[in-house]
Structure 1
């Protein structure tokens, strides 16, 4: 039997551990209000080419998905996702627990097709009984997918166009994003993702950190009180510097992609 594992098997990259040890006795404000976390935010903004983006640090992937999706949706809305999508299969109903339904689309080896999103939304609003149903309020994708497949730039651009034309948010789960960016045949860059997605996250737990995911909100007006929502979801780490130092390290000297290329 073959097992395709990830960084869950080990602790963290030695450079991350070194920086955590070096900064261990520094005294700074909590909840991410420290110089290391702010520097990490700026490094990520620069890497993404989106100076206006908000960057928030959470601890784990399911926690991040549940918080972001709850923030993007109104109470009567659900999230479109591939039938194999992580939020639909392997997150123990975390999305539904917040009162939002996962609206399932047929996946093409894990990928969502733009025409299926378009068809779902248009068919929904052609139904005279739509006010009685859960409305599609956003689209969830991941890169790579649960099948390990990659979105091409053209496919991501098509999803972006459909989401904008139908006024729903596009959210990309980046738990394994580093692997996708570094993979042979990948045609999507981090800047492409920042340009085309309304919200995405850069996974650290699977790519070199002890824990941590960096949420990048390229359209902050969609979630104006996200910090408070993170707190409400129990996802705000009091010693936020521990996240900041790790991502500061990952985005120094291109460490994030250097690690991912070895995956």
Structure 2
């Protein structure tokens, strides 16, 4: 599974616990794709922690590339049976960096003083502010996401007005007159960028 999901939504602790119990009952590994984990952990309403993932998942990773690191992810193996000869498998498949300590240093720098959680939480707050601006104009979203990804339903005219100044991902048509776009904030999004986008949304 992914945390956050591909639509920016969250699993609750109760949901993840239930999934974990099913996996253990049927002897299946639970793997959590955490490419956007920082944005999930920082989202309003989230009740999961890194410790919960360590307790409930067999394997998960802490996203780096999308959450402020220069490259890479931090893989966490919690099942003792999985880590047997894991380093050897990494070598066999060409997944060991000659200067691997650089990867670890990034995560130490991001995590040791809470920077990782602060910058991803800020991105969530920016995204929610953008969503509120759309709502103020009577523009709805496809799903309610508390994270840095927002899926907005625009008329084709509104989409054309925004794409003259902004780059966003078109997710496809909703009907003949409307399209869904994905707007993302990130750890590097600036306040002034959000201010300008909000102003342009309110002028649609």
Normalising by the residue count of structure 1, what TM-score does the alignment of the two structures yield? 0.46
SS of the residue 1:202 aligns to = strand
The alpha-carbon deviation at position 232 of structure 1 amounts to: 1.7
The alpha-carbon deviation at position 204 of structure 1 amounts to: 0.7
The alpha-carbon deviation at position 233 of structure 1 amounts to: 1.9
The alpha-carbon deviation at position 149 of structure 1 amounts to: 1.0
Distance (whole Å) between structure 2 residues aligned to residue 222 and residue 216 of structure 1: 11
Is 2:96 the counterpart of 1:236? Answer: yes
Distance (whole Å) between structure 1 residues aligned to residue 49 and residue 101 of structure 2: 28
The alpha-carbon deviation at position 216 of structure 1 amounts to: 0.5
The alpha-carbon deviation at position 259 of structure 1 amounts to: 1.4
Residue 49 of structure 2: aligned partner = 189
Residue 28 of structure 2: aligned partner = 168
SS of the residue 1:186 aligns to = coil
Q: Residues 51-70 of structure 1 correspond to what in structure 2 (within 5 A)?
A: none
The alpha-carbon deviation at position 147 of structure 1 amounts to: 1.0
Report the number of matched residues.
123
In structure 1, runs of 5+ residues without a counterpart are 1-140
Distance (whole Å) between structure 1 residues aligned to residue 56 and residue 18 of structure 2: 10
The alpha-carbon deviation at position 165 of structure 1 amounts to: 0.5
2:12 corresponds to which of 136, 152, 162: 152
Distance (whole Å) between structure 2 residues aligned to residue 189 and residue 169 of structure 1: 20
The alpha-carbon deviation at position 187 of structure 1 amounts to: 1.3
SS of the residue 1:222 aligns to = coil
The alpha-carbon deviation at position 256 of structure 1 amounts to: 1.0
Displacement over 2 Å in runs of 4+:
none
Which of structures 1 and 2 has the bigger CA Rg? 2
Distance (whole Å) between structure 2 residues aligned to residue 237 and residue 220 of structure 1: 23
Distance (whole Å) between structure 2 residues aligned to residue 203 and residue 156 of structure 1: 18
2:58 corresponds to which of 194, 198, 202: 198
Structural RMSD (CA): 0.9
Residue 255 of structure 1: aligned partner = 115
SS of the residue 1:144 aligns to = coil
The alpha-carbon deviation at position 222 of structure 1 amounts to: 2.2
The alpha-carbon deviation at position 245 of structure 1 amounts to: 1.2
Distance (whole Å) between structure 2 residues aligned to residue 229 and residue 262 of structure 1: 37
Normalising by the residue count of structure 2, what TM-score does the alignment of the two structures yield? 0.59
The alpha-carbon deviation at position 223 of structure 1 amounts to: 3.2
Residue 98 of structure 1: aligned partner = none
Q: Which has the higher contact order (CA 8 A, sep 6+)?
A: 1
